[in-house]
């Protein structure tokens, strides 16, 4: 059974940093691209970052480029999201997802990040 379990969320002040983790199980982690997607409270879904199966390439929308860094440790089947210079508009539930042929077939339960003073 595919499982994605996020951790590392919480309350953080504007301008500070936070690192999210996602532990994957039930599939061969290093065969798949992985992606973070977020959802602000009561809002829609926003793609945040993607990484190739080897970690050799990463992709970001302009809204987080230069502030967020996606990475992975294939030996630990773990995906990361380093978030720097956090803003109030980064407040959201962050989902770890498995990417297959462009779309996302499995999602974690999500982890909440609140940016507030």
The two tokens of residue 68 are: 């967020």
Q: Is 99 exposed, middle or buried (0-12, 13-18, 19+ CB in 10 A)?
A: middle
Q: Is 109 in the site for another protein (CB under 8 A)?
A: yes
Would you count residue 53 as binding another protein (CB under 8 A)? no
Binding mask 7-46 for another protein (x = CB under 8 A): -------------------------------------xxx
Show the binding pattern over residues 64-103: x = contacts another protein (CB under 8 A), - = does not. -------------------------------x-----xxx
Count of beta carbons in the 10 Å neighbourhood of residue 81: 25
Number of H helices and E strands in the chain, helices first, is: 0, 11
- Helix, strand, coil % (nearest 5) of the chain? 5, 55, 40
Contact segment (CB under 8 A) with another protein among 10-18, 22-30, 67-75, 108-116 equals 108-116
Binding interface with another protein (CB under 8 A): 44-47, 50, 59, 61-62, 95, 101-110
């Amino acid at each position: 059974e595919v499982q994605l379990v996020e951790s590392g969320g919480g309350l953080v002040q504007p301008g500070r940093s936070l690192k999210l983790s996602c532990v994957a199980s039930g599939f061969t982690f290093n065969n798949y691209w992985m992606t973070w997607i977020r959802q602000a409270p009561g809002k829609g879904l926003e793609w945040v970052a993607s990484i190739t199966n080897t970690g050799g390439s990463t992709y970001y929308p302009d809204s987080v480029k230069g502030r967020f860094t996606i990475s992975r440790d294939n030996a630990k089947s773990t995906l990361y999201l380093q978030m720097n210079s956090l803003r109030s508009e980064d407040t959201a539930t962050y989902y770890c997802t498995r990417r297959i042929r462009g779309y996302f077939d499995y999602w974690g339960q999500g982890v909440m990040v609140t940016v507030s003073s």
